[in-house]
Amino acid sequence: MYDLKCGQKDCKHNHGYCCCAKDIAVSTGTCCTTYSKCESKNLNTESAAEFSKPDNSVDTAVSCNAPCLFNHSTKCIANGITVSTGDDGSAECLTFIKK
């Protein structure tokens, strides 16, 4: 999947709001379990991330265990997904549509 938007600014896979991980996993509770907080003390400021050039060149495989309309045999078949911060601070799939 090439269209994988990420709003988790502190994730080490987020580059210009695009996920650059080779694969991600979405749990039964719609959380991105691949989210990994960047430990660098040299994080980009919020405005710098907004001006970063998006990297749409990574074809990310998305495995999914959520009861979602786009889940087909544990593979996400959506054209693209958006991951952002959930109410509890977790990385949550916003494209989730309950079956």
Q: What is the pLDDT of residue 16?
A: 87
Nearest CA among 46, 47, 24, 36 for reference residue 95: 24
* Average pLDDT per block of 10 residues along the chain, 99 residues long: 91 91 95 90 50 66 97 96 91 95
Q: What is the pLDDT of residue 89?
A: 87
- Give CA separation, 26 vs 15, 44, 53, 86, 92, in Å: 19, 26, 26, 13, 8
Sheet strand arrangement including 3-6: 14-15, 18-19, 3-6, 80-85, 91-93
For residue 70, the tally of other CB atoms under 10 A from its CB is: 19
Q: What is the pLDDT of residue 58?
A: 77
Q: What is the pLDDT of residue 52?
A: 54
